[in-house]
Structure 1
Amino acid sequence: MYSYTIIERVKTETIHEKLHNFDEHTGKRNIVKLVVDDSFDFVMAGIEAIIDDQITKSFRAEELASWNLLTRTSFTYTHINWKLTFLWIAGFLFRYFFLFPIRFVTFFVGFSLMALLTFIIGFIPNKRIKSFLNHHAMCMCMRILARSISAIIRFKNRENRAVKSGICVANHTSPTDVLILSCDNCYAMIGQRQEGMLGLMQQLLSRSADHIWFERTEANDRRKVIQRLQDHVDDPNKLPILIFPEGTCINNTSVMMFKKGSFEVVGSTIYPIAMKYDSRLGDAFWNSSEQSYGEYLFQMMTSWAITCDVWYLPAISRMDGESAIDFARRVKHTIAEKGGLVDLEWDGQLKRTKVPPKLIAEHQRLYWGYLSNLASFSGSSES
């Protein structure tokens, strides 16, 4: 008689420990023996990365422990028995033929109202009145749009919300993040100019407030982008600016490397925001490599609901002598810890590009430092 059990996978961290936590006071070892021993660890780490690496799974929809009656999370469960099949069919009819029409009408009303109000507010010359009306109009429209996906949002520690001209940074799952956060506060946005529906949204938002949209060619010129960000922060009358330093959408299980640009702004205060979605009723992750924004929006409107917890964390300032990179890492760790997310040092752009040579060179430098401290380059060995 056979028994079926799950074999627990224990991931080794030998290479990481060797490169970052080696003991410099350990006796010298023969270089040949040391390299041969390390070769097995590198091979094992490579096989583990092929089977289940930290990067690839962060760009796929989160795997659920139990099925939520959505075919996009698991299609095979629909045929286990007739009762489950009946529940799935009933849920399908309810979501597509009852919830979706109501949500679509709600979205149309919210979108049309936002277009109308931003058009009117754009003609108001008085900046103070314009800012006041824009704040309330945006929060109202975003709350209506949030109803179109049945968003359930829990805001926590609201006393830590950003004030004028501050910089807000948050982990990034999808464009829905902006919708969620704008239900509770009004922000200025920064990002690359888009086309289609997202591009239309950018045009509407720019009518009533100052946002920073840059062309693809400008995105490669960090100095121009940072200068525009600095000019925005230096103006006390501008809205707090919302930035997603990861630069790409992650599936809300981890936080990847924060780009240092927004942390180089002189004299700015960072307001961290941690966002954690509950995928049991609907997955908010947008895989832009596989689906258009229209397809993603349709997926949101046919889910059960979108549930999100938002934590406003205490403001953080850059310490004396702290580099922009270290500051970004400190803020990222704070967000990951509060949201219960895995803190990764990998660049999210690996989703679209190959591993950059500088990253390979960095690991080579670490291994050379390890060898230089522990290896004996003579024929003798002390251990």
Structure 2
Amino acid sequence: MEDFWSGALWVMKIWLYLIVSLIMIPAMFGFSLGISETYMSILVKTLEWATLNIQEAKTDEQTLKGSASNGLIQREDGSMEKELEELRRSRPKPSVGGDFTLSDCFYFNRRGIESIVEDEVTQRFTSEELVSWNLLTRTNDFQYISLKLTLVYGIGIFLRYCILAPLRIALACIGLTWLVIGTSAVGLLPNLRIKFWLSEQVHVMCYRICARGLSATIRYHNRENKPQKGGICVANHTSPIDIVILCNDSCYAMVGQVHGGLMGVIQRAMVRSCPHVWFERAEMKDRHLVTKRLTDHVNDKTKLPILIFPEGTCVNNTSVMMFKKGSFEIGATIYPVAIKYDPKFGDAFWNSSKYSMVSYLLRMMTSWALVCNVWYLPAMHQQEGEDAVQFANRVKSAIAHQGGLVDLQWDGGLKRAKVKESFKEQQQKQYSSMVVGDDSSGHSD
């Protein structure tokens, strides 16, 4: 029995040595020994081989296209005015009674049926479709295709659950533990320049360890546009891991609600060394208080840029939904960032209505890898005569264009709520202005 336990301790020592020497130390200092690159190269070739085998076995089946639309509806991109004008082209305009005809109801019926058949909002909160199976059980119900493919599938399960998952969980735990200990220790120092420098180094190093715990391969583009102190970084939101992805390259001040439990411990430790902006639940409802605290933060040019996800919810990596205008009312410099994940290696989208945070993280740690591109866009400022909503839409469009995402005007809050009455009234006013011949836009705030 003693030989058994001594052998087990020896194996654990070797395992910890490998973790520290081959993964943690390179991660802390931001370099790689080439292990991740070799793993990704083998993985890409394996998935390409599997795709060819699947296509050869199913040559008579049409491959699904991973597009943002399911292809059932061919929508017209014109406005209400243009589409109604097309319908009315063959009808003479009445001399009295306003510009109204009963045939207008066909337009609204068609748009209503289109929205039911192909809901633009609901499909943004489900996992995006893949071009082909990536040998992950959750992305496709396994069906026997060939013996070779089945063997590779079985080896993949063993590799992901028995080797990679324990290693990734260990790295994540180490990274979070070091974050709490490191930020707490730095928080004991006086408020001098060395304290803030050490705080940034601790944050970045710990996030890099967590990123290695997800086998993250991140490509950063246009680093000359990285967010600067005294500004606000805004990005599209797919997953809570977005924070790890961005903080792996730079340090940010976080904004969010105060939590309890383990998350609360992490928040209290982080705020000791760095001026993050945490709000109590009651304070989050006070827009003036939130705006004032954010304004005070960005006006201090020595503080880190604030990281905000204006969508307010996670969207499935295919589109960008409406940005809340709060962070665009401050008048600060906005640094847009576009994040796009490669779904071939794992589904990064967090469906919070279906999976808990722990369940989601376990799914991510049993994926092949986390691969994504991050684009830093040039800083943007609010133009003269431009209100906060227009500014937010302009930033959102820039992010969507750079990331190859669909630019949507819908509020992400529709994930759990109904359409606001103000939106319905806006459409009614728009049609009313057409009927009575009013040139005003009829838009409501």
One fold, TM greater than 0.5? yes
Cα distance between partner residues in 1 of 2:230 and 2:356: 33
Q: Which moved more, 1:349-358 or 1:202-211?
A: 202-211
Q: Does 1:159 align with 2:224?
A: yes
1:137-192 CA deviation, whole Å, 9 max, x = no partner? 11111000000110000001001111111111000111101100001110001122
Q: CA deviation at 1:364?
A: 1.2
Cα distance between partner residues in 2 of 1:200 and 1:291: 23
Does the Cα contact within 8 Å between 1:22 and 1:370 map onto a contact in 2?
Answer: no
Q: Classify 1:189/1:62 alpha carbon distance in 2 versus 1 (closer, same or farther; 3 Å).
A: same
Partner residue, 1:43:
109
Q: CA deviation at 1:101?
A: 1.1
112, 116, 124: which is aligned to 2:189? 124
75, 80, 85: which is aligned to 1:12? 75
**Partner of 1:280: helix, strand, or coil?**
coil
Q: Does 1:352 align with 2:400?
A: no
Q: Classify 1:39/1:248 alpha carbon distance in 2 versus 1 (closer, same or farther; 3 Å).
A: same
Partner residue, 1:257:
322
Q: Does 1:239 align with 2:301?
A: no
> For structure 1, which runs of at least 5 residues remain unmatched after alignment?
375-383
Q: CA deviation at 1:216?
A: 2.6
Identity within the alignment, %: 49
Cα distance between partner residues in 2 of 1:241 and 1:86: 48
Q: Does 1:342 align with 2:406?
A: yes
Cα distance between partner residues in 1 of 2:318 and 2:260: 28
Q: CA deviation at 1:89?
A: 1.7
Q: Classify 1:60/1:29 alpha carbon distance in 2 versus 1 (closer, same or farther; 3 Å).
A: farther
Q: How does 1:25-44 map to 2 (within 5 A)?
A: 28-29=93-94, 34-44=100-110
Q: CA deviation at 1:10?
A: 4.2
1:100 maps to a residue whose letter is A
Q: Does 1:115 align with 2:180?
A: yes
279, 283, 295: which is aligned to 2:343? 279
**Matched length:** 369
2:404 maps to a residue whose letter is G
2:249 maps to a residue whose letter is D
Does the Cα contact within 8 Å between 1:78 and 1:88 map onto a contact in 2?
Answer: no
1:297 maps to a residue whose letter is L
Q: How does 1:160-175 map to 2 (within 5 A)?
A: 160-175=225-240
Q: Classify 1:355/1:8 alpha carbon distance in 2 versus 1 (closer, same or farther; 3 Å).
A: closer
Q: Which moved more, 1:297-306 or 1:361-370?
A: 361-370
Q: CA deviation at 1:202?
A: 2.3
Q: Classify 1:303/1:8 alpha carbon distance in 2 versus 1 (closer, same or farther; 3 Å).
A: closer
Does the Cα contact within 8 Å between 2:222 and 2:376 map onto a contact in 1?
Answer: yes
2:284 maps to a residue whose letter is A
Q: Which moved more, 1:102-111 or 1:271-280?
A: 102-111
Does the Cα contact within 8 Å between 2:237 and 2:309 map onto a contact in 1?
Answer: yes
Partner residue, 1:378:
none
**Partner of 1:265: helix, strand, or coil?**
coil
Q: Which moved more, 1:134-143 or 1:83-92?
A: 83-92
Partner residue, 2:166:
101
Q: Does 1:84 align with 2:149?
A: yes
Q: CA deviation at 1:263?
A: 0.5
Q: Classify 1:256/1:8 alpha carbon distance in 2 versus 1 (closer, same or farther; 3 Å).
A: closer
Q: Does 1:291 align with 2:326?
A: no
Cα distance between partner residues in 2 of 1:93 and 1:42: 54
Q: Classify 1:301/1:35 alpha carbon distance in 2 versus 1 (closer, same or farther; 3 Å).
A: farther
1:347-374 CA deviation, whole Å, 9 max, x = no partner? 0101111111111111111121222239
Cα distance between partner residues in 2 of 1:257 and 1:353: 14
Q: Classify 1:230/1:148 alpha carbon distance in 2 versus 1 (closer, same or farther; 3 Å).
A: same
Q: CA deviation at 1:108?
A: 1.7
Q: Classify 1:121/1:364 alpha carbon distance in 2 versus 1 (closer, same or farther; 3 Å).
A: same
Partner residue, 2:279:
214
What's the TM-score once normalised by structure 2's chain length?
A: 0.78
Cα distance between partner residues in 2 of 1:367 and 1:229: 39
Q: CA deviation at 1:29?
A: 4.5
**Partner of 1:321: helix, strand, or coil?**
coil
1:180-214 CA deviation, whole Å, 9 max, x = no partner? 00011100011223344444432332221111111
1:265-293 CA deviation, whole Å, 9 max, x = no partner? 03x11111011111100111111111111
Partner residue, 1:377:
none
Q: CA deviation at 1:256?
A: 0.6
Which has the larger Rg?
2
> For structure 2, which runs of at least 5 residues remain unmatched after alignment?
1-59, 65-69, 439-445
